[in-house]
């Protein structure tokens, strides 16, 4: 397998490195080194700079404000941003720029693309994802939120949960059942719904890490225009599956970078607590290092399929199960190194609410103990570890299906 990059993307890498050298301070250590107020101010200005240079919309067609470059150029961009310790826009850009925009480019009507893409790029519209429900999380096809056609509008009733950042957003893309007589994977539509209306209630709730990130969203006669269905009525499951594959290649490239930086912080933490010569601690750190190396090569395999346009396969379940279970082990080790100090959080907790703390973050007890709590959620969101194991057992190994009630 050839894991080198072609000349045209290496030339683009040189462009990105030049931009970073020009735009970042000479003493830059990563956004994690800033205090919370300064980090948010930097992220907002950084998003503006990325948008102005066309980096937020790198692979979009030029007619929609993009640069028309390849997926591999996007991977190079994400690699260099991760290595420099800078974000790709603001947190909600994961849903607007990465997920919805690419979904609209594939499935949207010309009117939908012309209206929404410029507003997503400018940040005028911010988006969240309305997928999971109290009784339909990992089994998403069991959702019960329904949308009924009423003239030129859809009327929506139901509840979504674990909706990241909804309390900061203007719009939500929602999976709703539009045909109650169809089988559970059919009869679902992908709707674009404004949040600022009387029929929508957003309730934030506090996570065990102390952060406010997730929300419940209640629809009680909420309305959206009839033409704001993406991919056709009753075709929402197919659209949703394509959306889930959008981040696959980027994450395969950037996860190993972020997790490697975290292991390097872990080594410093062991030195800080005088445990870097403890043979058991050293062995556990070596185990973490080897797991990140395996993650890197697994990422190359996933990246190869993604670049060829392959639909998400079992390797996606392998990767999700792998990194999420690994992250519980590395954060366990950090807590063991800190001992009782880990029970008394001091310093700035992570700004992120998923995966690692930001590059450049201090080796504080607040950073590691909060990341330890966040790591547990990684085995639940985006498909629980149990669901991923079932997928691999049934789809790859051909084992009998788990008994259903």
247 in active site? yes
Residue 189: strand, helix, or coil? strand
- Nearest CA among 169, 156, 164, 161 for reference residue 140: 161
Provide CB contacts within 8 A for 242, sequence distance 6+. 103, 106, 107, 311
Provide CB contacts within 8 A for 231, sequence distance 6+. 107, 108, 190, 238, 239
Catalytic residue among 22, 247, 262, 346: 247
Q: What's phi and psi for 96, nearest 5 deg?
A: -80, -60
**Residue 304 half-sphere exposure toward CB, CA atoms < 13 A:** 11
Residue 129: strand, helix, or coil? strand
Provide CB contacts within 8 A for 196, sequence distance 6+. 170
Residues 19 and 29: their CA atoms lie apart, in Å, by 16
Question: Residue 263's Cα: distance from chain center in Å?
Answer: 21
Adjacent-strand bridge partners of 130: 174
Helix, strand, coil share (%) of the chain residues, nearest 5: 50, 15, 35
Active site members: 247
């Amino acid at each position: 397998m050839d894991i080198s990059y072609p000349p045209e993307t290496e030339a683009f890498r040189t462009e990105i490195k030049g931009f970073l050298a020009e735009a970042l301070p000479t003493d830059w250590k990563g956004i994690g080194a800033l205090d919370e107020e300064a980090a948010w101010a930097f992220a907002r200005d950084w998003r503006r700079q990325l948008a102005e240079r066309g980096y937020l919309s790198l692979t979009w067609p030029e007619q929609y404000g993009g640069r028309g470059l390849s997926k591999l150029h996007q991977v190079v961009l994400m690699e260099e941003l991760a290595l420099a310790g800078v974000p790709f826009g603001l947190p909600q850009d994961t849903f607007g720029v990465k997920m919805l925009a690419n979904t609209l480019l594939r499935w949207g009507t010309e009117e939908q693309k012309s209206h929404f893409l410029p507003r997503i790029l400018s940040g005028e519209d911010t988006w969240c994802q309305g997928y999971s429900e109290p009784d339909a999380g990992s089994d998403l096809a069991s959702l019960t939120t329904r949308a009924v056609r009423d003239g030129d509008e859809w009327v929506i009733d139901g509840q979504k949960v674990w909706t990241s950042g909804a309390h900061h957003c203007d719009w939500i893309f929602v999976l709703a059942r539009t045909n109650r007589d169809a089988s559970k994977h059919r009869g679902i539509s992908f709707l674009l719904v404004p949040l600022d209306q009387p029929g929508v209630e957003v309730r934030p709730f506090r996570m065990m890490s102390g952060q406010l990130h997730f929300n419940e969203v209640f629809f009680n006669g909420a309305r959206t225009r009839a033409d704001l269905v993406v991919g056709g009525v009753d075709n929402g499951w197919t659209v949703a599956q394509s959306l889930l594959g959008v981040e696959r290649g980027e994450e395969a490239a950037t996860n190993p970078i972020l997790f490697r930086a975290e292991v390097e912080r872990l080594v410093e933490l062991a030195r800080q607590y005088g445990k870097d010569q403890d043979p058991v601690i050293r062995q556990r750190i070596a185990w973490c290092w080897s797991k990140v190396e395996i993650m890197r090569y697994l990422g190359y395999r996933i990246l190869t399929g993604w670049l060829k346009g392959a639909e998400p396969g079992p390797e996606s379940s392998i990767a999700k199960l792998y990194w999420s279970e690994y992250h519980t082990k590395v954060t366990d080790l950090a807590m063991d190194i800190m001992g009782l100090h880990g029970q008394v959080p001091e310093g700035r907790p992570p700004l992120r609410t998923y995966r690692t703390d930001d590059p450049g973050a201090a080796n504080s007890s607040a950073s590691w103990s909060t990341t330890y709590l966040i790591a547990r959620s990684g085995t639940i969101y985006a498909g629980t570890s149990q669901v991923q194991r079932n997928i691999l057992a049934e789809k790859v190994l051909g084992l009998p299906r788990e008994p259903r009630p």
